[in-house]
Structure 1
Amino acid sequence: MKKILLVSLAVTSMGCSDLETEKLKISVNLENSETGKFSDLFSSIDYLLLDMGENEVLVRPYHIDFSSDKIIVEDRDLANIHIFDRTGKLQSSIKSSDSGGPNSIKQTEYIQVVEDKIYVSDIPLKKIITFNLYGNFIEEKKEQTFFDAFHYFGKERVLFLGLKNNPNQKLFIRETLADNDTSALYKFPIAYDWMGIGSKDGFMKDEFSKSVFFNIPYSYEIVEFNEKGEISNNFEFDFGRFGLGHNDRYRQAEARNLDKYLGENGLINNISSFFPMKDSFFMYLYQNSAEGKPTHHFLLFDRDLKLRYQSINPKNDFDGMVMGIPWTFHDNKIYVILNSVSFYNKYIELYAGQKISITPGSIHEFFQKNKEKLKDDQTVLVSLTLKDSL
C-alpha cells in the first residue's frame, strides 16, 4: 500500500571549514510502513543470466558498473573483472595474478567505468590500473595514499579513505590531477581503527544530473558531490527509535557485540542502499531481528527528499520469485543478484505441475531458454524498472 507522507527537514550547521553547505536532517517514521508489493513501485521485472561459459567462473559478484553496451562485474573472491555484453554473454576477463607483476592486478578493491575505460584499484600493489572495455591493459599509476574507493571527475578525483583514523577526521581527499593539489573533505566523528570498512555502492553517478552521491558506511549520512568533486550537499536520516547514534554504534562494535545488539533491539545499522533514480531516490533498509526474521524497508523520496512511498517486506507479485537485497542501479532500474541454482530450485518449487504460458520477456521464457545453464552455479541479474510515477 502506497503511503504519501511529509518529511520534516531540520537544518543544522556543519561547522566545517571545508563545507559551506548546511546539513539536512530528514526524519522518517518507519512505523508508518505497511506491507507492500512490487507492482506498487516497479513497472516490470526482467532476468538476465551472466553466462560465464564453460571455462570461467564468477564466485562473488560485488561491484557492478555499466557502459553504454557492457556490464562490468568484479569478482570479490577471485579478484577478477568480467566484461559482459548486454545479453549477458561473457566478452572478456581481466584475471588477477599472484605474482603482482607490471600490468597486472592482484587484489581488486574498487572499479569505475569512465566512457571506454575501466579503472581498477589494487590494494596490495598500491596502484590504479586502467584497461579498455575489451580487457586490454592501458596504463597503471602507483598510489601514495591508502583508500577504499575513488571517483574521477574529469580534471579532479575524490578518494574515500574509509573510516579509520584519517587526518583531521576527514573521510575524503579531493585531488586536482594536473598539479596534485589536495584538500580534505567531510568531517566524521568516529574512527574504526581496528577494522576496514568498505562501501558496496561507493561513488554513485547520478545518470540524470551532474551529481555524484556517496552513502557513508556505519551511518545514515549521504554526501553529494558536484561535477568538480566538491561537496555540494549532505544530509542525514533520522529513523527515531530504530536508529543508532555514532557513539552507541562505536561502543558496541568495539566490544564485538554490534550484530547482537542490533538484533536484540530491532535496529538499523546503516542505509543498505541509496540510489539516485530518474526523478527520485530509492532507499533500502535492513532492520535487524533477534529472531532472525529481519524487516526489509523500501522507500522512495522525490528530488526534494520528501517521502513518496514506504513499505515493508514487499511481495513479488509479478512472478513470486524470492529476491535478494537491492544491490545496484542503472537506467532507472534497481538490480538484484541471485544465484542461478537457487533460482532454478525456487522456480521448480513455484511452478512444478502448473500450466504456464511462455510469453516473450516472462520468467518462464527465461527459465526455458537457460534451464541447463541455471544448474551450473552461475549468476542471475534481476532488474526491476521503477515506475515513472506513483
Structure 2
Amino acid sequence: MYKYIYLVILATIFFSCSEEETEKNNKILTIDLKNGHEGKLSDIFNSIEYTLLDAGDNEVLAMPANLRIKDSLIFVRDSRLSNIMIFKMDGSLYSVIRAHLNPGPGEFLQSEDFQLGADWIKVRDYPQNKSFTYDFKGNLLDEIREGEELYYYFYETKDWKLAYMGHSNGPDSKLFLRKDKLNEELLFQYSFPNEFSHINIGSKNGFMQDVSDSSVFFAIPYSYEIIRFDEKGVVDMVIELDIKNGGITKEQRNLWVLERNLRQMAKEGKLVTHTDTFFPMWNHFFVHLRQESPNRAINHFIVFNKDFEMMYQGYDLENDMDGMRLDGVPWSYHENSIILMINSNQFYNAYIESFGGKSVKQVKGSVHDFFQKNMGRLKEDQYVMVSLNMK
C-alpha cells in the first residue's frame, strides 16, 4: 500500500516538473502582418526544381495529401482515393499501395496517415482501427488491430508511439497519446479545450520530424499552436504564434466554427484562421500563413532561425528566378527544400500565360526545358512537384 502511494507521489512530482519545464520553455512568436514586404523568391531561395509526377495511363493521383521523400523515392497519399502512390525521383511511377472499398485480410479501407522506415511503409486505417505495414512494392509485412484508443496521425520509434487523438477521442480534451511499447503504459498529453469536438479537423502534415535533431513537431489544426515533443515523445515546448493585424482569438474562432461562418468572417476581416505551415528544417523554421480577403488570399512567408529569431517576412513572393507563375502553396518539406504541388493543367496554362509568344532560352534543368520535355503529359491530369531550395 505504502509502495503504491510512493509511486503515485513520484509520478505526480515527475509530471508536475515536466509541466513546469514545458511552461518555462514555451515560445510566443509575434508576427505583425503589416511588417511584411512584397518580396521575391530569391530573398530566401537559391534554385527551383520541377518534377512531373506521372501516374501513367492506368493510374490517377486524384487529390495529393501527405507527401514525403525518402532516399530515392517520393511517397504521396491520395486523400480522395486513399491510395499511397510511390514515385521515383525522376517522377515516374514506382508502385501503388491500394485502398479497398471492401477490405479483406491485409487490406486497408482508408489511409489516414503513413510513416516510412528503411524499407517499409506503415499505413494507418482509422475506420478499421488497424495499421498495415508493407514493403515499397506493396507486399504485406504486418497487420495490427489497435487497442481501444482511436487516433488519426502517428509517429513511432522502436520504444514508443505518438498519436494525435483529434478533438473528440482523448480524455479531458487531451490531444496526444504516447504509448510505451515495452510496458504498454499510456500517457495522454496537452489539453486543448475547444468547440471542435463535433467535427474531424485534418492535419496537412501530421507529425513532422526536425531534420536537424530528434525533436518532433505537430501544428494543431485550426489554431496558432505548434507542439514540440522531445526524443522520448513527451511534450517539451508549446510554440504559439501571436499574429498582429490579422489574427483572431480562440473565442472568435470557436464561435465562428459553431456558427459555421468562419471562412466568411475571415474574408471580411482579412484574417488568418490558423497556422497553415510550420516546417522544422535544417537551419530554419519555415512558416506559411494564408490571410483571407474578399478578393484573393495573401500568402505570407516567414523564416525563423533555430533560436526562434525572425530572419525574413514577406508576402506574395514574385518568382524573379525563372519568371514562372507558381500558384501552389507550401505542401511539404525535405531537408532544405520547400515543396509545392501544382495540378499539371494549371501549370501548363500558367506557363503559356507567362511565356507564350516570348523568346526563351532552353537551358537544361530550367522551367523551359521541363516544359518542352513534358508538354504532352502536362495537358493531362497529373501533378507537378516544385522544389524551392532554401539559401
Superposition TM-score tier, normalisation by shorter sequence = over 0.9
Residue in 1 that maps onto 2:355: 351
Aligned 8 A contact 1:116 1:132 in 2: yes
Aligned length: 372
Give the alignment partner of residue 366 of structure 2, picking from 362, 366, 377.
Answer: 362
Residue in 2 that maps onto 1:30: 33
**Sequence identity of aligned pairs in percent?**
39
C-alpha distance in structure 2 between counterparts of 1:193 and 1:230, whole Å: 24
Over aligned residue pairs, what C-alpha RMSD do you find?
1.4
Q: How does 1:3-22 map to 2 (within 5 A)?
A: 19=19, 20-22=21-23
Aligned 8 A contact 2:170 2:176 in 1: no
Residue in 2 that maps onto 1:77: 80
Aligned 8 A contact 1:83 1:135 in 2: no
Matched, 1:183 2:209: no
Q: How does 1:173-322 map to 2 (within 5 A)?
A: 173-289=177-293, 291-322=294-325
Aligned 8 A contact 1:65 1:72 in 2: yes
Which moved further from structure 2: 158-167 or 279-288?
Answer: 158-167
Scaled by the length of structure 1, what TM-score is found? Answer: 0.92
C-alpha distance in structure 1 between counterparts of 2:39 and 2:259, whole Å: 37
CA separation of 1:83 and 1:261: change in aligned 2, threshold 3 A:
same
Residue in 2 that maps onto 1:138: 141
Residue in 2 that maps onto 1:10: none
Unaligned runs of 5+ in 1: 1-14
Aligned 8 A contact 2:33 2:245 in 1: no
Aligned 8 A contact 1:166 1:191 in 2: no
Q: Return structure 1 stretches of 4+ with deviation > 3 angstroms.
A: 15-18
Scaled by the length of structure 2, what TM-score is found? Answer: 0.92
Matched residue type, 1:72: F
Aligned 8 A contact 2:324 2:367 in 1: no
SS at match of 1:97: coil
Give the alignment partner of residue 162 of structure 1, picking from 142, 162, 166.
Answer: 166
Residue in 1 that maps onto 2:63: 60
Q: Deviations over 1:93-126 (max 9, x none)?
A: 0111111111011111111112221111112211
C-alpha distance in structure 1 between counterparts of 2:207 and 2:69, whole Å: 14
Q: Deviations over 1:301-332 (max 9, x none)?
A: 01111111001111111223222111100020
Aligned 8 A contact 1:164 1:191 in 2: no
Aligned 8 A contact 2:32 2:244 in 1: yes
Shift of the alpha carbon at 1:18?
5.8
Shift of the alpha carbon at 1:177?
1.2
Residue in 1 that maps onto 2:120: 117
